[in-house]
Each structure stands twice: as structure tokens, then as C-alpha cells.
Chains A and B, each alone.
Chain A
């Protein structure tokens, strides 16, 4: 085996690409939190498309992509998007259509301007969509003995500006995002904050745009923030998480693109999507896997309780009652889940499996007893307070017995003055589980 030593020079380009990607995603992820919380994600989408004519015009006029006029033009078109969409909505177009009309029209204009006027330079309609981050390490300047990509400077400045914006207006942004009415009553101009935020989004978008393209700016704005929203509850933590998710997506995206020799920006979006999917499935609160697990445990608990209650009723008739294992499985709903429920009872020490039969343990008897007690108390309560035929009581009690905890059980007993028998004449077992099976 001959392992070639990796030379430092070979790491320089990946290093700078990842730095540029991180610088581009971080401010996007930060502002994206506000967009997602304010349900303005699609305005972010629209702005990232509609700044194109602004960029194109500024580019055609000044002849350079590095001029600060591009920033001005982009912010102007970004805000124009929001204003125009609002104006159209006032003129009677539905909100989604007005947004759709404004940004597709402006984007089309931008594409035309670029393909008509800027053909000789390195701005082509395709790059508008997916950026040129691969070229970032090539355009460099020397500073302190290092070849630093040119792109680092504007992105760094925008990152600093975004952090300053978020810190300076932390309270205002949070208040207007969560409770605009309260914010207004506290003297914060919610409308002005709205346009401040949109202006910042336009700035961030135009800075990230050259690297990751318009569509992937959308990915970086929305996906990390939405992922963070699944994982945490507080705004500060959400922002930190979103930045982390964005950064992780950038690194994974770069690695994926390098491994498959494809688009870095595209891979970053895919990586962000996968991280989102991961959060959706495995989030501690509300994750789909956890939800499914909880539903399963709930199902098993109910099924097990049905077995325990039935076996307790058997014991009422004959103290040495036992149940065939297969019958217990059938009672627990049958199938794999039925087996699981019965095994779970044995494991928890509530059933004893002897041969092909199961019997109640002391623990299981206590639980069966309190279930049957809850069941019969509920029947007695229904019978006393509602005019229902006797054969209508059981069904309700069969469902309700699982939900009557010790507290409600006590109250029911007190309300009924501890009745000895249920409406069908069967004895209501004592609250304290006794050592001997009830007669």
C-alpha cells in the first residue's frame, strides 16, 4: 500500500471553499429564523429571485460585480418586491398570486437583462440559479502572506452587519415576530421593522447569491431555520441551532460534492434537506419516530391492561384461574403486537408464564383489580346520573377504565358513597389491593 502524503496546498482550496460557504450560510440562517417565525419564508424566496434585475442593472451600468451599487440596487429591488406584492394584494389579487407574479416577472426581467447585456462576462443565467462557489478560491488577493479569496471580504462584512443588526434590534425583532400588536403598543414600529428585516434579507441574499445562487439562497434561508424550529423552543437557541445546521450543511455539502464531482451549492441544499428530514424524524419533542413510539407504547399499555382486567375477572369466579397464553395474545389484539403486549406484561412482572398458561402476579393482580374497580365505578356512576339502559354502560366503561387514575377513582367512589356493587350486581373490588384474590 502506498499512501501518498497529503500536501498542505491541496487542502487550501477546500478550506477556503468551506470558509466562503460558512460565511454565506451563517447570516442566511440567522435571518431565516425571523422569516420562518413570521411566516414570511416565501417573501425570502421572492426576494432572492427578484433582486436579479437590480444586480443586472447595477452590473450593466458599473461594469463590475464588486461595486457597492449592486448592494444598493439589490436592497431597492428587494424592498420593491414586498411593496409591489402588497400593492397588488390591495388591488384585489390574492396574496400568493401577487407574490408569484411580482417575483417571476422581476426574475424574468433579470434573466433577460443578463442574457442580453452581459454575455461576454462571467454572469450567465445558469450561474444565477446555482452560483459559482467552486471558483471562489481562484480569485484571491494576498494579505499577510496568505492568498485569501476575494469573496471573503464582502461576505465577512455582511456577516458582521447581520450579527450587529440582530443584536441591536434583538428585542424589537423578537417582539414584532411573536406579537406585533404588543410591539406596536410598546411603541415599536412593526411596519418599519418589517422593511428593515426585508432590507437585511436583500443584503444577505445578494452577498450569498454569487456563491450559492438564488434558489440555494432560499435553501439556506429557510431549511436551517425550519430545522431549528423542530429542535428547540427559544429564539436564541433557535438561531444558534440554525447557524449550526447551516454550517453542517455547508461542510457536508462540500464533502458530498467533492466525492461525486458535482455542484457544491446543490449538495449544500440536499445536505440541509437531509438534516431537516433527520430532525423531523428524530426530534426529541414531536419527532415522528418518537411520536410513533409513544403511540405504540400507548397501544401496548391499553392492550396489556385489557388482559390484566380480564384475568382478574376470571379470578373473581375461581381463585386459581389461569389463561392460555394464546388467549391472552388474542385479547391483546392478536398478531405481533399482541405477543409483544403479553411479553411486556411478563417482563414487567405482572404476568407469570407457566407452561402455555399465564397467571396474575401480585403486581398484576393489583393493577387488574384497580382497572376492574375503575370500570365498575364508572358503570355505577353512569347508571346513577344518566338514564341509560344497562347494556349501554359496559362499552363506555371498557374505554374509560384506562383513563380513570387513582384521583378520579377516589372522587367517583366518594360521589357514589363507596357502592358495594355495580349496576349489574357484581362486587366492586376494594381500592387497596388485598393479598388474597377477591371473591
Chain B
């Protein structure tokens, strides 16, 4: 049976992670990850000022204060970008550190001057503390999530364009600046909602990690949003559960580390852009090219009357090492394109002979194109995967083939080619 408090904490963090993943996707695509970080740090003075004004720990007021100072930070960033020659990176660093410094000053002032137990708890906003989450907090997070979902749902198409190509969006007459502002406001409210759980220092990671992870799993924005939302929820729940086992440990760092581990897993295993997937794609392309080269070599030999090769010739035939050549021949044998005839000899199967003839044709075609139509040969070499006779205009291809046939260098495709 799950305890009521646990349920509150889990649903709160899950909602938080989900909305951070959703909004964070756009942050990552718009390359504003570090703006998010500056915004989060800038929330601290707002928290403190609200505390000073209200005089007690009222979550709603403090989060509102944090939101206001976050927005102020964004305005300062925009102002610096427009009105000074300070570069974007320095502007982010300035806003982040100066706002945060002001926050530290204010929180010390509160600790020194505020009365009673009210002053306790500001520290928990630095690194987060989910244990104290109450139903009211979850409601707040829920409202922010619903708002993000609603806004992103309504303006989905607009945000999609802005996320991928701001200049295009502007040229098309979309109100790009307006959409950017809406997005940053969503980021600010998500960051603020995340403060109690993850803290000022690390909440930006919550925006970045699920979205950056999701990027490795898909190329479609819709799927990326779904995945990032799911990842965010999963990461936050796992992190909150682990940190509840470790006593006196701030929740933020645990959540961030869980997110980092999931990010590394995605980086490695993500089916779209993961390291493993990209390595496999590259290897498959390399394999196909080397197989085709070997087939062409075998086909050339078949055309000159030697339908088989001795295995000790294999190095000369394939480029590279004996082991490489063996691997290529092994793959051809598994594809039933070559077959062993006796110890140390192998030859093309009928199917192999057919494919080899095609490869020889393609090779000859490319060679002849180089000589006869050099203006087209580049085009052919740029597309090694397509058949060159389809890349060039029909009359060019006819002339090339005609020339090759006339000189007897155009192998027949039929089985009769021995």
C-alpha cells in the first residue's frame, strides 16, 4: 500500500518531470539550454523578495516572485543583446551570477533578520526537497503542466516552425518574437514549478536532460515531445524514490544524476541518433560497398573465363587484409551469392553471377562516363548507391551503353553468361 505522502510526492514529481520534458524539448531545439539555466538562477532573488513582502513561507507568493524575477532576467538578457556589444554568452553569465548573488544576499538577510521558524526552508530551494511536498504544491505543478500543454497544443504548428527555423518563421510572417516570448514564459513557469523539488541550481538540467535524451530516439517532433514527457516523468519518479531512501540528501542532485544516466543510455542506444545506431549504419554502408566491390571483381574474372577463385588469391582480389576479405566472402556466401566448389576454391552461384554482372556493368558504365561525359561523372560518383545509368539523361546513358557494347565490354545479364 502506498502511503498518502509518497503518493503526493510521486505524482508531483512525475507531473513536474513531464512538463519539464515537454517544454524542455523546445528549449533544446531552440538552443536555449543555458538561457534556461540563467533563468533558474535568477529566480532566487524573486523567491526572497516575495518572502520578505509576504512575511511567511507562502508557496504561491514565493513562486510568483520567482516567476517575476525570471522574466526580469529574460528581459535583461534581451536588452543586453539589443543595446550593447556584450555577447550572448557573457550576458548569460552576467545575469546568472549577479541575480544569484543578489538572491544569496537577500536570503542571508532573511536568515539574519526574519523572525521565528519562517526563515527555515529557504535553503531547500537551492538543491530541492521533495519530502515536504503537499497536495497544494502538486496542484500548482498540475496547473503549470496543464497550461504548458494547452499553450503548446494550441500553437503546436507555430512552435514547430519556430523551433526548427526561426528565420524562416520570421520570413513567413509568423510573430516569431511573440512566440519566443510565450515559450520563455512557459520555461519560466516550468522552472519555477520545479524549484521546490529540484532547486534553483539544477532545475535547468531537468529541462535539458529528458529532451536531449529523447532526441536520440526519434527524428519527429511529435514523438520527441511524447518521449521527453515520458522520460521526464520517469526520471523524476525514479530520482524522488531513490532520494527518499537516502536520508538527508537533497533531491535535485539525485534526480539530475538519474536523468544523466538515462541520457547516457540514450546516447549509446538511441535507435535514431545513438552512438551504437550510427556505428551500425556506418558499418552497414561500408559492408555493402565492399561486397559490391568484391562481386564486381568476381564478375570481371567470370567474364574472362575463370568462374572460380582460389582462396589464396583473395587478398589480391579484395583490397585490404586477408581477414577483411574473408569476412566479405563469408557474407557473400551467407547471401548465397558464392559457393565453395572444393577445398580452397569458391565460385559464383547463378544468382551471384547475375548480381556480379550487374556490378560489372555499373563499374564499366561509370568508367566510360568518366571518359565520354566527364560533366556527368561527378554526378554519378556523388551517388554511389544509385544506379548511374538512371542518374544521367537517357540519351547519355544510351550512348555510353552503345559504346560499351561495341567494344564488347558490356556483360550479358542472362544465365547464359556462364
Hey, which bits of chain A sit against chain B, CB under 8 A? Answer: 36, 39-42, 44-45, 88, 91-97, 99-101, 104-105, 107-109, 111-112, 115-116, 119, 125-126, 129-130, 215-216, 218-219, 221-223, 225-226, 229-230, 256-257, 260-263, 265-270, 272-273, 276, 280, 286, 288
- Per the bound structure, the CA–CA distance linking A336 and B227 in Å amounts to 59
B97 within 8 A of A: yes
- The answer to the question of B87 belonging to the interface, with a C-beta cut-off of 8 Å to chain A, is yes
Residue pair B105, A270 in contact (C-beta under 8 Å): yes
B246 at the interface (CB under 8 A from A): yes
Q: Taking A104-B208, A108-B253 as contacts, is the C-beta distance between A223 and B202 under 8 angstroms? A: no
Bound Cα distance A343, B112 (Å): 55
Option from A95, A111, A216 in Cβ contact (under 8 Å) with B253: A111
Residues on the A chain within 8 Å of B55, using CB: none
Besides A97-B28, A223-B93, 16 new A-B residue pairs in contact (Cβ under 8 A), listed by A number:
A39-B89, A44-B93, A96-B34, A104-B202, A104-B204, A105-B260, A108-B205, A108-B253, A111-B253, A215-B201, A257-B105, A260-B109, A261-B108, A266-B103, A269-B102, A280-B84
- The yes or no answer to B126 lying at the interface (CB within 8 A) is yes
With A100-B205, A108-B253, A215-B101 known as contacts, the answer to whether A94 contacts B92 (CB < 8 A) is: no
Among A40, A91, A96, A286, the residue within 8 A (CB) of B33 is A96
B202 pairs with A107, CB closer than 8 A: yes
A125 to B201, CA, bound (A): 11
A109 to B90, CA, bound (A): 26
How many angstroms from the CA of A92 to the CA of B205 in the assembled complex? Answer: 18
Q: Which residues of A contact B31 (CB under 8 A)?
A: 94-97
List 5 A-B residue pairs with CB atoms under 8 Å apart, sorted by A's residue number: A101-B208, A101-B260, A104-B204, A226-B93, A270-B105
Q: Is B118 on the interface with A (CB-CB < 8 A)?
A: no
Q: Which residues of chain A are near B212, meaning CB under 8 Å?
A: 93, 97, 101
**Chain B residues closer than 8 Å to A91, beta-carbon distance:** 267, 275
Inside 8 A of B275's CB, which chain A residues have their CB? 91
Q: A109-B253, A126-B126 are in contact. Are A267 and B101 (CB under 8 A)?
A: yes
Please give, as numbers and ranges, the residues of chain B lying within 8 Å of A95 by CB-CB distance. Answer: 31
B contact face: mostly helix, strand, loop, or mixed: helix
Cα-based distance from A230 to B94 in the complex (angstroms): 13
**A115 contacts which chain B residues (CB < 8 A)?**
248-250, 253
Given known A-B contacts A39-B87, A111-B250, A115-B248, A276 and B108 have beta carbons under 8 A apart: no
When distances are taken between beta carbons in the complex, the residues of chain A under 8 Å from B108 are 261-263, 266
Tell me, rounded to whole Å, the shortest Cβ–Cβ distance linking A24 to chain B: 14
Chain B residues in 8 Å Cβ range of A36? 87, 90
Give the complex CA separation of A230 and B90 in angstroms: 12
Chain B residues with CB below 8 A from A88, complex form: 267
Interface residues of B in 75-120 (CB under 8 A from A): 80, 83-87, 89-94, 96-98, 100-106, 108-109, 112-113
A286, B253: Cβ atoms closer than 8 Å: no
Cα distance A139–B34 when bound, in Å? 37
How distant is the Cα of A107 from the Cα of B212 in the complex, in angstroms? 18
Using a CB-CB cutoff of 8 Å, which residues 242-286 of chain B contact chain A? 246, 248-250, 252-254, 256-257, 260, 263, 267, 273, 275, 278
**Are A125 and B126 touching (Cβ within 8 A)?**
yes
With A97-B212, A100-B33 known as contacts, the answer to whether A108 contacts B94 (CB < 8 A) is: no
B84 near A266 with CB under 8 A, answer no
Given A96-B34, A101-B212, A273-B102, also A261-B112 (CB < 8 A): yes
Contact among A108, A119, A126, A218 for B260, CB-based, below 8 A: A108
Is the C-beta of B359 less than 8 angstroms from some C-beta in chain A?
Answer: no
> Min CB distance, A217 to chain B, in Å?
8
A272 to B95, CA, bound (A): 11
Most buried by A among B36, B101, B109, B256: B101
A residues in contact with B260, CB < 8 Å: 101, 104-105, 108
A126 to B123 CA separation, bound complex (whole angstroms): 7
Nearest-Cβ distance from residue B354 to partner chain A, whole angstroms = 40
Do A261 and B109 form a contact, CB below 8 Å, given A104-B204, A125-B126, A226-B90?
yes
Q: How far is the CB of A311 from chain B (nearest CB, A)?
A: 37
- In the complex, the answer to whether B208 meets A112 with C-beta atoms within 8 Å is no
Q: Nearest 4 A-B pairs (CB), nearest first?
A: A269-B101, A273-B98, A266-B104, A219-B97
- Are A42 and B34 interface neighbours, CB within 8 A? yes
Given contacts A42-B34, A263-B105, is CB(A269)–CB(B253) below 8 Å? no
Within the complex, the shortest CB–CB distance from A284 to chain B, in Å, comes to 14
Taking the nearest CB of chain B, how far is it from the CB of A214, in angstroms?
9
Q: Which residues of B contact A280 (CB under 8 A)?
A: 80, 83-84
Task: Give bound CA distance, A130 to B90, whole Å.
Answer: 20
Residue of A nearest to B89 (CB): A41
Most chain B CB neighbours (cut-off 10 Å) among A130, A222, A273, A286:
A222
What does the 1/0 interface line of B270-311 toward A look like (CB < 8 Å)? 000101001000000000000000000000000000000000
Q: How far is the CB of B350 from chain A (nearest CB, A)?
A: 44
A218 surroundings in chain B (CB, below 8 A): 93, 96-97
Taking the complex as formed, is B37 at the interface, i.e. its CB lies under 8 A from any CB of chain A?
Answer: yes
What CA separation (Å) do A221 and B85 show in the bound complex?
18
Residues of B within 8 A of A216 (CB): 97, 100-101, 104
B127 within 8 A of A: yes
Smallest Cβ-Cβ distance to B91: which chain A residue: A226
Check if A270 sits within 8 Å of B28, measured CB to CB.
no
Give the contacting residue for A42; candidates B92, B127, B252, B253; CB below 8 A: B92
